[in-house]
A and B are shown apart, each in its own frame.
Chain A
């Protein structure tokens, strides 16, 4: 079993941004580890030295394993990773963003990278849609809601509108 020097904060891939995804990945990782253990046990009982094919993983789990530097066939590391993920899910700060449309992957990545760079390395975000905010976003952080929408900006600066119209 290889003992690598692990970074202080477990790096998470940018595509893994929500608590729901994290739960799914943990379940997948758990199943994956179980399958791996069964395969290892089966090979040990059968005395078959032949390498068995590893179970298939989702792209996100593969990305996670790559980002964390874990070996996909090392059950001990995988279990450690699972425990770490469990810990992250329990303590990771979550920001809830409401936008006027569902963002594409690029924008999601950009947003989660910003949160992980400036707020917390394990920050998570969720997305919701509301078209009546006009644009911008509503951000709920903890118990506080930041109204950074276009509608709020328009209402706050409504007095300027007649001047702009007259121009």
Chain B
């Protein structure tokens, strides 16, 4: 956008300069025409006889004036044509320059936009992946915590249950004892520890 503006400004400045130059040129030509040496009129007082007649002088002046106007008109046409050509060329060049610059800028803009879009997509994808990972980690941690809590509670419950049941069993087994039923167990225990018992008793 800035390039286009610069080009347009330059074009306007150039057109202004050309117009100014045309005006200056026109004033210059006009000035030159006005400064053309006017045939000196030698006032001769020939009282008796005049060189040119008044009508001839008038005719000559008309012819000179017509020639001057023709020259000015030709110069003006030529200048107008030159200005038109210059303006046309300038407009064409400006248009080409603008189009080229616009296309280039637009392509660059599109490329930048695409790059930005790709970058954004990558960033979002990366962010999404990180979020998914984090979410997975959190879910795993939560699951782990839940399992740990469950096991801890279960262990506590098992410990209490074991205490209650073992206490009840020990208390119950102490009543209405049948040593005959324990005889096999006692003998088996003695057999298992026979060597140690012998060593301790004979020590």
Interface residues of A (CB under 8 A from B): 93-95, 99-101, 103-104, 107, 110-111, 114, 118-120, 123, 131-137, 139, 141-144, 146, 148, 150-151, 154-155, 158-159, 161-162, 165
Contact = CB atoms under 8 A, between A and B. Distances in A.
Contacts of B170: 132-134, 150-151, 154
Given A103-B179, A161-B166, A137 B158 contact: no
A135 B162 contact: no
B198 interface: yes
20 contacts: A95-B201, A99-B179, A99-B182, A100-B174, A100-B177, A101-B179, A104-B179, A104-B180, A133-B170, A134-B170, A135-B174, A136-B189, A141-B197, A141-B201, A146-B189, A148-B186, A148-B189, A154-B169, A158-B163, A162-B157
A148 B184 CA distance: 13
A131 B174 contact: yes
B201 A123 contact: yes
Nearest to A123: B201
Contacts of B171: 134
SS class, residues of chain A in contact with chain B: mixed
Given A110-B183, A142-B203, A154-B166, A119 B193 contact: no
Q: How large is the interface on B (under 10, 10 to 19, 20 to 34, 35 or more residues)?
A: 20 to 34
Contacts of A142: 200-201, 203
Interface in B160-203: 161-163, 165-166, 169-171, 173-175, 177, 179-180, 182-183, 185-187, 189-190, 193-194, 196-198, 200-203
Contacts of B201: 93-95, 119-120, 123, 141-142
Given A133-B174, A150-B170, A139 B197 contact: yes
B165 A165 contact: yes
A35 to B, nearest CB: 36
A100 to B, nearest CB: 4
Contact of B158 (A133, A144, A155, A162): A162
Given A161-B161, A161-B165, A162-B158, A119 B202 contact: yes
Given A93-B202, A165-B161, A137 B189 contact: yes
Nearest to B181: A135
Interface of B: 157-158, 161-163, 165-166, 169-171, 173-175, 177, 179-180, 182-183, 185-187, 189-190, 193-194, 196-198, 200-203
Contacts of B187: 110, 114
A141 to B, nearest CB: 4
A39 B142 CA distance: 97
Contact of B183 (A107, A120, A155): A107
B166 A135 contact: no
Given A99-B182, A100-B173, A134-B170, 8 more contacts: A100-B179, A118-B190, A136-B185, A142-B200, A150-B169, A151-B173, A161-B158, A161-B162
B179 A114 contact: no
B197 A134 contact: no
A142 B173 CA distance: 28
Contacts of B175: 131
